[in-house]
Structure 1
């Protein structure tokens, strides 16, 4: 089974970089010929994507729902602890199932992945 780590850095709504990264992750889960072991680690402004209770205007994409879909598909989603703390994000403010992780955890994920994508 291929193991893929996606590390995202960009804010959820300032550009479409994170949106497209999540689209790729969802497509890999849904359309892979063989099972894929994915992990998603959010850093920098991307941690805000895990904020619970997001409300987006009609007809726009919803980053929070995309993260919830990945979680439902069994994809672990972790936030950089330092980045989350700098932005006031605590476990009670994030989407259920998202974990606050550390660079040590990211290092382990990196070392145990076949492919690492920085988006």
Structure 2
């Protein structure tokens, strides 16, 4: 199955994006299922893709979690308008993250068998 996750919330303060990433990770764990995952970060979730996140010891790190998804074959895109509005440069994105657009989100929506929004 092909899954598109659309995340809207910031990386910290709520757990919606965190839980969306965890959900995506579980779908990628079962290699026999052949699942494919794309994650599109929009709105405040654009900050999830900022590299160099420093969190208290023992606290989850969304940057590391996204990079783990990439290592397992997920594609990560971040709304270009949203990162511009937040002062995040393309070069500040997590390894494997790319600048996205509404056109890309529309394309990915058509690609997906299921769209999951957090």
- TM interval, short-chain normalised: over 0.9
> Which residue does the alignment assign to 1:116?
115
User: CA-to-partner distance for each residue in 1:27-46, whole Å, 9 max, x for gaps?
Assistant: 11013651101100000010
| Matched ranges for 1:43-58 at <5 A | 43-58=42-57
Q: Runs of 5+ in structure 2 lacking a partner?
A: none
Distance 2:7 2:58 in 1: 24
Distance 1:32 1:10 in 2: 28
Q: Runs of 5+ in structure 1 lacking a partner?
A: none
Distance 2:55 2:89 in 1: 21
TM-score by length of 1: 0.95
> Which residue does the alignment assign to 1:27?
26
> Which residue does the alignment assign to 2:67?
68
User: CA-to-partner distance for each residue in 1:67-90, whole Å, 9 max, x for gaps?
Assistant: 000011110000001111100111
Return structure 1 stretches of 4+ with deviation > 3 angstroms: none
TM-score by length of 2: 0.96
Distance 2:37 2:92 in 1: 24
Equivalenced residue count is: 118
